[in-house]
Structure 1
Amino acid sequence: MARVRYGPRGQEAAERARRASARLPDIWSTGLQAVWETDPEVVAAVLPPPLQPAARPLVRTAVSQVDLPGYPLGAGSVAVAARHADADGWYPLVMPMTHERALIGGREVFGEPKKLGEVGVERGPDGTVRAKLARHGITFVEVTGTVGGALPLPEPTAKLDFYFKFLPGVAGSGFDGEPVLVHCLRHEKVRRLESVTGTVTLRDSPYDPVADLPVRRLVEITLGEKTSDQRGRVAARVRPEELLPYVHQRYDDAAQVLDGPPPGADGTAGEGSV
């Protein structure tokens, strides 16, 4: 009988995959990162328990081109500063990716809020730089500026992100199983870092409403080349009734009533699109 590819794979195949993943080389990305202060009450409003606001009401957006062998990837995120127990980190609200391969592991293993989208970073010969995050024809984050001088390279550092991993209930309400809070620890190395003088523009989108996190004071914009690994662990079990009011953050429409073409699919561009 010919090999049936949907058939079971043996332990040897699983062990080969494990060994291969343990030998991954450094994967470098070039990205623009912007950090700003917003309204404290807004940060508090978007954090599901048991997360708490950090000392400063910070928002961070990162827009990167990742040098995945054979799979060039655009990867982005918008996150707010948060705290769990005695640990400070970031809670991402949306993480656009340019292809499905980057979605699967992050969503299913770590609970990352990844969605397919448009992600781009462009640097002009005159030193200008532009980065964007877009979905459904709307560029909801745009960072533009001019690259300045080189910055001192930071030492390798550990950075923490918070994710909620859950399965919506088969019966149409609640969860199947107990939701968990995941601590995802990344060890980051930087080989190039430059300052950027510029602006952050947030455009309203019903799918990605980051415009609700207004830029009150721009802290910094940087352009860098970085690599990191990541390891996750379950840090806490979450009470379903406390997480349910925030589940809509993960989906464009939890009731799946938007299965038709997105606005602008007839060739017209919606407001804020590029």
Structure 2
Amino acid sequence: MARVRYGPRDAEEMAGTRRAAVPEVWSTGLVAHWESDPDAVAAVLPPPLEPGPRPLVRAAVSTVALYGRPLGAGSVAVSARHGGHEGWYPLVMPMTEERALTGGREVFGEPKKLGEVVLEREGMVVRARLARHGIAFLEVRGAVAAELPLPAPSQRLDFYFKFLPAVDGEGFDAGPLLVYCTRTERVRRLEAVTGDVVLGESMYDPVADLPVRRLLDLTLGERSTAQRGRVAAKVSAGDLLPYVHQRYDDVHQILDRPRPPEASAR
């Protein structure tokens, strides 16, 4: 009988998967940091996360040459702190390919969703956009102003919550856990960009609630990132449940149903 590919893999095949080396991947990305409303930043942080020293937001729009096929990857995160560690809490991470969703969501608990990620450069002009459901919730338009000196390799800490919604719709079946994800980043090209960050209104991705009070920096760079994660703490289900809607457009999919014709005609 021909091999049934959905059948079990033997120990050697499974060990080979675990040992497989991940190739170094470089991405081209636009990164923005801005100061926002401190109350708004504090409001989106589930316990036990606490606000960082400053109410900062970090947005990234990147294209990745992954296995010869471009991948669009985005992120919008707020500054946070836990147990003396300062880092970032991503609220939404749109990706253009399903393969980029599964590992991050299921292993680390990253809030990844399929979406539109666009980064374009024409001469010195740079345009970037993050969108889902046809709604652009973040846009950047700017121009490259100068080349910047290359920074030394650096580390960034991201906070994620890993959990499984309950089968019966009440609470969680497993977890929840607070995950530390440490990213080591190298940069081989970096340019300063002058421009603006525009936040669009979206019921699905309400990052407009984190207004740009003061844009701190805009950079365009080529980066390579390696990540490793660990479980930092168990989390109270009661504390996390009010924030589960951040992960999904609608937990019970009520809002995802097609609208009846009479509603669409209004």
Task: Establish whether TM, by shorter chain, passes 0.5.
Answer: yes
- Structure 1 segments (4+ residues) deviating >3 Å: 258-262
Aligned match of 1:59 in 47, 53, 57?
57
2:225 to 221, 225, 228: 228
Contact 2:80–2:87, Cα closer than 8 Å, also in 1: yes
Aligned twin of 1:149: 146
Greater strand fraction, Structure 1 or Structure 2 = 2
TM-superposed deviation, 1:260: 3.8
Letter in 2 for 1:14: M
Question: Is residue 211 of structure 2 the alignment partner of residue 214 of structure 1?
Answer: yes
**Partner SS for 1:81:** strand
| Structure 2 residue 238 is matched with structure 1 residue 238 | no
Which residue among 90, 93, 106 is the counterpart of 1:92? Answer: 90
Q: What pairs up with 1:118-157 in 2 under 5 angstroms?
A: 118-125=116-123, 127-157=124-154
2:76 maps to 78
2:173 alignment partner, SS class: coil
Q: 2:33–2:218: 8 Å Cα contact kept in structure 1?
A: yes
How many residues are aligned here? Answer: 259
Q: Which residue is equivalent to 2:32?
A: 34
What's the counterpart of residue 251 of structure 2? Answer: 254
User: Secondary structure of the residue that 2:69 maps to in structure 1?
Assistant: coil
- Cα distance in 2 for partners of 1:105, 1:212 equals 29
Residue 24 of structure 1 aligns to which amino acid in structure 2? V
With normalisation by structure 2, the TM-score equals 0.95
Residue 178 (structure 1) shift: 2.5
Compared CA separation, residues 260 and 177, structure 1 to 2 (3 A): closer
SS for the counterpart of 2:67 is: coil
Contact persistence 2:162–2:175 (CA under 8 A): no
Amino acid at match of 1:123: R
In structure 1, what is the equivalent of residue 5 of structure 2? 5
Q: Is the 8 A contact 2:175 2:235 kept in 1?
A: yes
Cα distance in 2 for residues equivalent to 1:178 and 1:92: 19
SS in structure 2 of the partner of residue 178 of structure 1: strand
TM-score w.r.t. length of structure 1: 0.93
Counterparts of 1:125-204 in structure 2, within 5 Å, are: 125=123, 127-204=124-201
CA apart distance, 1:71: 3.1
Deviation of the 1:177 alpha carbon = 2.0
Contiguous gaps of at least 5 residues in structure 1: 263-274
Q: Which runs of 5+ in 2 are unaligned?
A: 260-266
Q: Residue type matched to 2:73 in 1? A: A
- Aligned position for 1:205: 202
3-state SS, counterpart of residue 155 of structure 1: coil
